[in-house]
Structure 1
Amino acid sequence: MGSVVCHRRYHHNYYVHKESSLRTYYGGVPDVVQVAQHFFIESALLELFSNCMAFGWLSGTNCARIYNEALSSPHSNILNNKLAFSAIYHNSRHFTPEDWSVTRLIRKEDTMNGFFLYSLLLDKAEQGSVLILPHDEASQRDRLQPALAERNSAMEGTGQECYAHACDLCFHIFENENGQLMKIQAAACDGNTIGHRSCKVHNCKNPLPSLRHHFCPAHQHLRLKCAVVDCPSDHALGHRTCDDPDHRALETAYFRRGNAMFQLRARLKKAGVAVPNDSVPVRDASEDDDEVVFEMGPSGPIELDVDDCDGKPETGNRRLRAIFEGRWTHNEQLIMRPCGVILSRATLFGSEAVSAVNTFAKATFPTPESTPEFFIFDNNCKLDAHQRAINDKHFENTGKPVDVFHFRCKHKLTDLHCQRYCNPAAFPEMIGPDGKWRFNTSICEQTNVWFGGYIAMVRDMEVTRYNFFLDEMIKRRNRYVVSELRAKGYAPWTIPMKAIFPTAMRA
């Protein structure tokens, strides 16, 4: 429908002005969302998909499959079980016309585009604004990209809806020895090996042109180099390494391992054991290893665990690192309250370096008023040493204990810095009147069980969608956690933002 007076063409969810190439969506969230040019999905169904992703780790593919099998027909229970309903099966088929010009089935693309558009509409409605997208784009994926990137920027650091959360599990008031009331807030930090595809140059944060590329535009010239890290030579024709015999032996060993994995999978398939492609619990070495490490011994290359290869080999053998396929970011870092509410998330590209964790923590707690009394991190001894070495006093009033489990099991008694500054027993404020720990210092380990469930879903997502998706999952989970805290009597509340950012509020 169009108007010759206001020069606008009105569509189901939005209008386009004659002299503009923008889609301006109507205020609020519609009952039916146009997710593609000729495809509409009810908001109630998109809400179901969103919750399936948040609490069931269902991918877009599996959401579409469940809908197509169970909800797309009025009598799916009958149509899916022909033998059980043989008496009425043929009558039920008449409710599913076979001569429709459009399909009633949902594709993965419709599910994911619907999720992203619906989430954007919700976000704008919560802010009291409207969604504006480019109209003349080749695809819905491209059309959504600018708005997704804008929301991603707003989420960085302090942007999560529950950032100012407090409750009886994470915020304590006690009386000190002088009779003054003091507050204690704690935050915990940990990493999870979820990641997205990235440039093969270590710690490069430039986005890839597409998932098929291994290098960003600035490093495309390196695609001709040998796959062995730091080798300056070009790879030989038909190979991924140069003519160095050790490098070629490493390549042979790597792909022999890949072929062995393929053969094992083929045997499983022949034996009737399914290996689904929709949900991959770990990265397949034959397809997409990030980095491999081999030790060159007298009998040839021996593969080592990447995580155990920080130091020099004790045997005197030479170690070679290589990246034969694509590279993924190192991990996602989370900062959360001991009650389980996640405050922020950041992607660490090259490694879980304490300098990167320090930068992330400062972005999450940018003002003195926002810093917690205790920051719990399993590598706090090195983080604290790093801050002292660079004279960074941002967290000088924050205690940095290691969580109880890691301190007992993974920190040496001979580490004097750790024993002096990071021993949880050295902070009596963390122990309540009943002699128990005030805070759940292992909350990150527990939360990672949930967060790690997305590794298969996001491993090949484009980076903008990847960041938006994870932030949206955290937002939805936080709402559920807060509702559970309220139901269990832990009295959740929101700290006034002017108490956390007083300078910004005055400005």
Structure 2
Amino acid sequence: MRIKLCGQQEITHRCDRCTRFYKGNGEEFMDGLTIGYPRCGSHNCHIPLTTIRDRFCATHRELNKVCVIKDCNGEAVPGKMTCTSSEHQEIERLRDLRGQSRFQLQAKLKRARVSHLNDAIAEDVDQATLLDEEDEEFDLPTDILHGATDGVSDPRGGTSNPAAEAKKKIKGQFGRRRTHNEQILVAPCGIILARETFFGAEAISTCAEFIKRTFRVNGQVPNHIFFDNNCSLAKHVKDDPFFARIGLTVDVFHFNCKHSTRDQFCQENCNPAIYQELHGEDGKAWYFNSSIAEQTNVWLGGFHAIFREMLSDKYNFFLDQMILLRNRMTRSKLAADGHCPINLDPST
């Protein structure tokens, strides 16, 4: 909570690699990494789970009695996760078969690259339950939906169309949900300035609030913030005085490869070439390493197998401790290389 309220220890960091005395103060880079921990399945609920096996927190535990099929509010049959609907029960049967398949389970394990931990303590658990964490999509055959012959009456009215019904997809939330991603703010020298967990999505409004909370103290606000979706962020905050003196540019890689030349707003406002202070010296194209956030995410993602089964308290403590240790090592290297790392006094 102290780190969340006051920020990382290096929030006021400056050095020769992340600050250029040109016309401004410093530059920061923001990016998100899709990692997280198990959370309550209720929309945007931040209440921690009691155990890693839970699908809902204590406040929303009654939702365990509701059918897991999306947009269905029917009561689940005792001993099952779906209601009395034959379609929904068939979905649960198919899901169970999928989880029992050794081949499919091994494929999931390989993709997820997880170590199954009970809040950082090894324990035998149901692997299929842990792996099925997001909405699963199922295709139901026509004969299961409404019979195998043409012209069968649809119980909802009209006559069913087997060709159309065969393409019907149904989604169900059988397992846990988890947080959407970790968003980080990184100085060009590699010092991590801030981290925040995004629960629902990497929404532009949430990114804007994250920046404002991080740099709410005078003297900390940078002159430039690189972000791969800054064209959308710039449109969102164009009337916000907090961002009036912050250049919101897209990092060089994403601007060249991911952003359309037909987007006039992006080309005129988020092109890093507009700002002379970002240009390099002695033949270098750019003064700052605009890919530092992606490079830092590679390091952060290396802990994924360790903390993916931790509950929120240990997850946040572990992640913040790793960031503190990394920042100390980075600062020591900056000092050894003669880059003069210092911390500004926010009161001046």
- Residue 312 of structure 2 aligns with which residue? 463
Residues 259 and 450 of structure 1: is their aligned pair in 2 closer, same or farther, counting only changes over 3 Å? Answer: same
Write the letter of the residue equivalent to 1:458.
F
Query: Aligned to 1:355, which of 202, 205, 211?
Result: 205
**What is the CA–CA distance in structure 2 between the aligned matches of 1:213 and 1:184, rounded to whole Å?**
47
Contact 2:7-2:214 at 8 Å conserved across structures = no
**What is the CA–CA distance in structure 1 between the aligned matches of 2:95 and 2:271, rounded to whole Å?**
43
Alignment RMSD = 2.9
Alignment partner of 1:170: what SS? coil
Query: Aligned to 1:199, which of 33, 40, 57?
Result: 40
Deviation per residue, 1:188-210 (Å, 9 max, x gap): 11112221121101211112233
Give yes or no for the alignment of 1:226 onto 2:67. yes
Give yes or no for the alignment of 1:493 onto 2:342. yes
**What is the CA–CA distance in structure 1 between the aligned matches of 2:180 and 2:143, rounded to whole Å?**
29
Contact 2:27-2:224 at 8 Å conserved across structures = yes
Structure 1 residues 213-222 or 355-364, which shifts more? 213-222
Listed as ranges, the matches of 1:322-333 within 5 Å are 322-333=172-183
- Residue 289 of structure 1 aligns with which residue? 132
Write the letter of the residue equivalent to 2:267.
Q
Give yes or no for the alignment of 1:335 onto 2:185. yes
Residues 293 and 462 of structure 1: is their aligned pair in 2 closer, same or farther, counting only changes over 3 Å? Answer: closer
- Residue 187 of structure 1 aligns with which residue? 28
Residues 253 and 185 of structure 1: is their aligned pair in 2 closer, same or farther, counting only changes over 3 Å? Answer: farther
**What is the CA–CA distance in structure 1 between the aligned matches of 2:312 and 2:43, rounded to whole Å?**
17
Q: Which runs of 5+ in 1 are unaligned?
A: 1-152, 175-181, 269-274, 302-314, 500-507
Residues 393 and 443 of structure 1: is their aligned pair in 2 closer, same or farther, counting only changes over 3 Å? Answer: same
Contact 1:195-1:332 at 8 Å conserved across structures = yes
Q: How many residues align?
A: 315
Deviation per residue, 1:222-244 (Å, 9 max, x gap): 11111123321122333322234
- Residue 58 of structure 2 aligns with which residue? 217
**What is the CA–CA distance in structure 1 between the aligned matches of 2:257 and 2:76, rounded to whole Å?**
44
Shift of 1:337: 0.3
Alignment partner of 2:26: what SS? strand
Q: TM-score, normalised by structure 1?
A: 0.57
**What is the CA–CA distance in structure 2 between the aligned matches of 1:297 and 1:356, rounded to whole Å?**
37
Query: Aligned to 2:95, which of 254, 274, 290?
Result: 254
Contact 2:188-2:290 at 8 Å conserved across structures = yes
Residues 300 and 440 of structure 1: is their aligned pair in 2 closer, same or farther, counting only changes over 3 Å? Answer: farther
Residues 399 and 252 of structure 1: is their aligned pair in 2 closer, same or farther, counting only changes over 3 Å? Answer: farther
Residues 277 and 285 of structure 1: is their aligned pair in 2 closer, same or farther, counting only changes over 3 Å? Answer: closer
Larger Rg: 1
Query: Aligned to 1:473, which of 322, 328, 343?
Result: 322
Give yes or no for the alignment of 1:429 onto 2:277. yes
Alignment partner of 1:394: what SS? helix
- Residue 133 of structure 1 aligns with which residue? none
Write the letter of the residue equivalent to 1:341.
I
Alignment partner of 1:408: what SS? helix
Contact 2:115-2:305 at 8 Å conserved across structures = no
Runs of 4+, deviation exceeding 6 Å: 297-301
Residues 299 and 412 of structure 1: is their aligned pair in 2 closer, same or farther, counting only changes over 3 Å? Answer: farther
Query: Aligned to 1:162, which of 10, 15, 20?
Result: 10
**What is the CA–CA distance in structure 2 between the aligned matches of 1:414 and 1:285, rounded to whole Å?**
46
Write the letter of the residue equivalent to 1:165.
H
**What is the CA–CA distance in structure 1 between the aligned matches of 2:309 and 2:115, rounded to whole Å?**
16
Shift of 1:155: 0.2
- Residue 406 of structure 1 aligns with which residue? 254
Residues 164 and 252 of structure 1: is their aligned pair in 2 closer, same or farther, counting only changes over 3 Å? Answer: same
Shift of 1:456: 1.7
Q: TM-score, normalised by structure 2?
A: 0.81
Shift of 1:160: 1.3
Give yes or no for the alignment of 1:241 onto 2:82. yes
- Residue 155 of structure 2 aligns with which residue? none
Contact 2:136-2:173 at 8 Å conserved across structures = no
Contact 1:246-1:296 at 8 Å conserved across structures = no
Residues 300 and 214 of structure 1: is their aligned pair in 2 closer, same or farther, counting only changes over 3 Å? Answer: farther
Percent sequence identity is 40
Write the letter of the residue equivalent to 1:491.
C
Larger RCO, structures 1/2 (Cα 8 Å, 6+ apart): 2
Q: Which runs of 5+ in 2 are unaligned?
A: 145-163
Shift of 1:472: 1.1
